[in-house]
Amino acid sequence: MKICSLKLQDHLSNIVMVPVCLCVIKVSVPVSEVVGVEEGRVEILPHKSVEDTDKDFTVFYVKRCRSGGTYGLLWRLGRTQFSCPSRVLKDQWITNLRTSVKTHSPRRPNRLLVFINPFGGKKKGRKIYHSLVAPLFELAGISSHVIVTERANQARDHLLKKDLIGFDGVVCVGGDGMFSEILHGLIGRAQQEAGICENDPSVTLQPSSLHIGIIPAGSTDCVCYATVGVIDPVTSALHIVVGDSQPLDVCAVHQASAPLRYSVSLLGYGFYGDVLAESEKHRWMGPLRYDFSGTMVYLCNRSYAGIVQYIPADPVLSSPRDRTRCLSGCSVCSRRTSFVRLVCLFASPLTFPDEWVSVEGRFRCVSLTCMSCACPRSPLGLSPSAHLADGTGDLILVWDTNPLGFLKYLYRHTSAQDQFDLPFVEVHRVKAVQFLIFQCLFTVIHLQIYLFLNTFI
Ligand SMILES: Nc1ncnc2c1ncn2[C@@H]1O[C@H](COP(=O)(O)OP(=O)(O)OP(=O)(O)O)[C@@H](O)[C@H]1O
């Protein structure tokens, strides 16, 4: 057992814990990263145990560890026990520490609405939440209303219709599909409340005031990986507890004037769209369905004729091949001044003002990424230097090529080799895209939402 002395520094932004034993290891923890303070000698994870003693208390805080292979850090629950000379002093310490944590972390959530998809990924959502996440929320004094979904789109419908007053955020326990449901529910709700018509691609959409937290429990968990840098429920839960947040660009996709969907990660036409559509038919395979469907679609060797138009982003600010990695606090993203910005005001179909660049031909795939889309299968992602919240997306055009060439392109997603350094691949940083294929017109515009997420330290 580790017994320490403890000092709250003058400005109260850090607590310094000094072991009483002589081999001094000083631990300094920002008060904003204290998760909770409990009476007695307490363990929370993997199982809760409490030894109630009169003069002891335990401080829990965020501890960072290397994650081996991934670019983010794992967060773990650190704990240190303290012994006081008297019970009165112990009570004072506990009260003062809890007050300091409240004062220094005004953005921490108090009440959360949690949706668990019991069928996402390896079907472990319920277990992950109850064994790893709920104990941390309880320790941090966060109350949660938990809904285990019974059907697809239940979370979206709940967010569109039910009373959300009193909640500080919504937590998604599931994968990218579940996250997308919640995104659609919250954005739809925000437009309803603001009296905005989502059908109109020229309207400025409103962001939701509720943040979204993601506890990864899906098959790919790309949004979690590309923002936190690791797929780890404890890390994500601790980010939520301390009130971290990360703005994200959201694309609104319209077909003619009807809204199709919103996306924060990949919009894929051609190969990727086909893989996703095919994989839905083989959901029973679990995460393996993506490998299977990828192989099947690859063997079909399809390409699509179309016209792609885009508005290029300012090349002085950033480029998709500048080898940067967008992380929390990114200087490019922080240049954005407005919280919500409609990047493209779409005038009318098939009018091409000067701003639009137009290309026509046969494509293997046309993809728009609003973030790197990194995931464990593709550690750098489809567009490694894409930004999370700069109001742009990366348009990747893969022209029709021979099957071997296309395989080379796909293989490069899994390695550190430059996937854009191929003669049939183009990448452009864009503010808006139109894609015309078989007379269907897709238009993509942006707004931003905030996630509870991510500090990359
Ligand atoms: N109770 C439920 N029964 C069936 N489907 C559900 C249920 N709850 C949510 N869904 C749907 O399941 C779909 C997939 O869920 P989720 O994203 O959590 O897992 P995944 O597809 O395995 O992971 P990923 O999207 O990261 O590949 C979502 O589109 C969601 O709408």
Residues catalogued as catalytic: 176
> Which atom of ligand 1 is found nearest the CA of 121?
22
Given 243, 274, 304, the domain boundary residue is 243
Q: Which domain holds residue 89?
A: 5-104
Residue with tokens 């309803």: 192
Residues 137 and 235 in one domain: yes
Answer yes or no: do 143 and 72 share one domain: no
State how far the Cα of 389 lies from the Cα of 223, in Å rounded to an integer.
Answer: 13
CA of 242 to the centre of ligand 1 (A): 27
Of 222, 243, 264, the one marking the end of a domain is 243
**457 within domain boundaries:** no
Residue-level pLDDT at 207: 82
For residue 237, how many C-alpha atoms fall within 13 Å in the half-sphere facing its CB?
A: 26
Shared domain for 289 and 424, answered yes or no, is yes
Q: State whether 63 and 128 are in the same domain.
A: no
DSSP codes joined into one string, 193-240:
HHT--TT-TTS-PPPPSSEEEEEE-SS--HHHHHHHSS--HHHHHHHH
Residue of 174, 136, 134, 133 whose CA lies nearest to 155: 174
How many A from CA of 1 to the centre of ligand 1?
43
Whether complex ipTM tops 0.95: yes
Residue with the smallest CA separation from ligand 1 atom 11 is: 152
Cα 56 to its chain centre, rounded Å, is 38
Q: Is the CB of 125 under 6 A from ligand 1?
A: no
Length of the chain: 457
Which one of 114, 116, 117 would you pick to mutate in the ligand 1 pocket, going by the greatest count of ligand atoms within 8 A of its CB?
117
Q: Within this chain, do residues 274 and 352 fall inside the same structural domain, yes or no? A: yes
Same-domain check for residues 162 and 260: no
Residue 69 pLDDT: 65
Ligand 1 neighbourhood includes 216 CB (under 6 angstroms): no
Whether residue 10 lies inside any domain: the answer is yes
Coil/strand/helix, residue 63: strand
Q: How many angstroms does the Cα of residue 283 sit away from the middle of ligand 1?
A: 9
Q: Of 146, 178, 222, which is best to mutate to test ligand 1, by the most ligand atoms within 8 angstroms of its C-beta? A: 178
Are 237 and 258 within one domain?
no
| Tally of domains in the chain | 3
pLDDT at 442: 52
What's the whole-model pTM score?
A: 0.85
C-alpha distance across the termini of the chain, in Å: 29
Give the pLDDT of the chain (457 residues) as one tens digit per residue: 344 455 555 444 566 555 444 445 677 888 999 999 999 999 998 888 888 788 999 999 999 987 666 677 899 999 999 988 999 999 999 999 999 998 888 889 999 999 999 999 889 999 999 999 999 999 999 999 999 999 999 999 999 999 999 999 999 999 999 999 999 999 999 999 999 888 777 777 888 889 999 999 998 899 998 888 889 999 999 999 999 888 888 888 877 666 678 888 888 888 988 898 888 888 888 878 888 888 998 998 888 888 888 889 888 888 999 988 887 778 888 765 333 322 332 333 434 456 789 999 999 999 999 899 988 888 889 999 999 888 888 999 999 999 999 999 999 988 888 999 999 999 999 988 887 765 444 555 544 444 443 322 2
Atom of ligand 1 nearest to the CA of 218: 23
Give the closest residue to 229 by CA, choosing from 412, 376, 370, 120: 376
Backbone angles phi, psi at 183, to 5 degrees: -60, -45
Q: How far does CA 393 lie from the centroid of its chain?
A: 16
413 contacts 272 by C-beta, under 8 angstroms: no
Cα–Cα dist 187/169, whole Å: 13
157: number of Cβ within 10 Å: 14
Same domain, 389 and 261: yes
Q: Kindly list the distances between the CA atom of residue 172 and the CA atoms of 75, 116, 125, 151, 434, in Å, as whole numbers in the listed order.
A: 19, 6, 10, 15, 31
The CATH number of the domain holding residue 184 is: 3.40.50.10330
Phi, psi of 348 (to 5 degrees): -150, 150
According to the model, what pLDDT value does residue 453 have? 37
- Say if residue 92 is in the same domain as residue 206: no
Supply the CATH number for residue 53's domain.
2.30.29.30
Q: Does 46 sit behind a cis peptide bond, omega within 30 degrees of 0 on the bond before it?
A: yes
At 134 the pLDDT is: 97
Distance from the CA of 275 to the center of ligand 1, in angstroms? 16
